[in-house]
């Protein structure tokens, strides 16, 4: 028979679900970082293509909206509010031009965006490593 009462078990379960909730959000952000890397790389590869229009990944706007709308669950019977983050969108920027041939890719801007995205990706990897480290500690410490 377990030494835990029902409330303690629910609390532990909620904490574990909270860890997985965070990893789901980090996983989504990692997917966006990978997509953004592909889009920026495509922009860079087409810097000399006449008429090429660059693309951008839109996600942070959706994430900010999600954070504003997120509800707090005070009872396990409550329905979650605002826990679904929309998928990112790739948007082609048609209304600008950097050169007379119609291409709107600025290589300096794209290279700085690529570096920023790589830093963001690495930070997300570190965060998910910490999340799983906490989970591993909870599991191994629970055996003692």
pLDDT per residue as tens digits for the range 86-111: 788 999 999 988 889 999 999 999 99
**Residues 80, 83: Cα–Cα separation, whole Å:** 6
Q: pLDDT category, 116, cuts 50, 70, 90?
A: very high
% of the chain with per-residue pLDDT over 90: 44
**Using one digit for the tens of pLDDT, what is the confidence trace for 44-99?**
999 999 999 999 999 877 666 665 655 556 666 665 555 556 788 999 999 988 88
DSSP 28-48: HHHHHHHHHHHHHHHHHHTTT
**What are the two backbone dihedrals, phi and then psi, of residue 94, each rounded to the nearest 5 degrees?**
-95, -25
pLDDT on residue 77:
67
User: How many angstroms separate the first and last alpha carbons of the chain?
Assistant: 17
pLDDT on residue 19:
52
In Å, how far are 17, 38, 89, 93, 117 from 107, measured between CA atoms? 43, 15, 22, 15, 15
For all residues of the chain together, what is the average pLDDT? 80
* 112 pLDDT more than 80: yes
- What ranges make up the beta strands (E) of the chain? 55-58, 89-92
* 1 pLDDT more than 50: no
pLDDT on residue 28:
86
């Amino acid at each position: 028979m377990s030494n835990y009462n029902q409330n303690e078990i629910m609390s532990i379960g909620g904490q574990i679900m909270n860890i997985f909730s965070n990893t789901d959000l980090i996983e989504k952000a990692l997917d966006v970082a990978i997509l953004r890397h592909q889009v920026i790389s495509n922009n860079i590869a087409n810097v000399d293509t006449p008429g090429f229009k660059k693309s951008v990944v839109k996600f942070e706007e959706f994430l900010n909206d999600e954070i504003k709308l997120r509800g707090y669950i005070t009872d396990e019977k409550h329905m979650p509010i605002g826990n679904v983050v929309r998928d990112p969108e790739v948007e082609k920027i048609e209304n600008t031009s950097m050169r007379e041939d119609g291409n709107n890719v600025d290589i300096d801007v794209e290279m700085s965006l690529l570096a920023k995205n790589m830093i963001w990706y690495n930070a997300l990897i570190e965060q998910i490593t910490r999340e799983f480290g906490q989970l591993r500690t909870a599991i191994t410490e629970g055996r003692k």
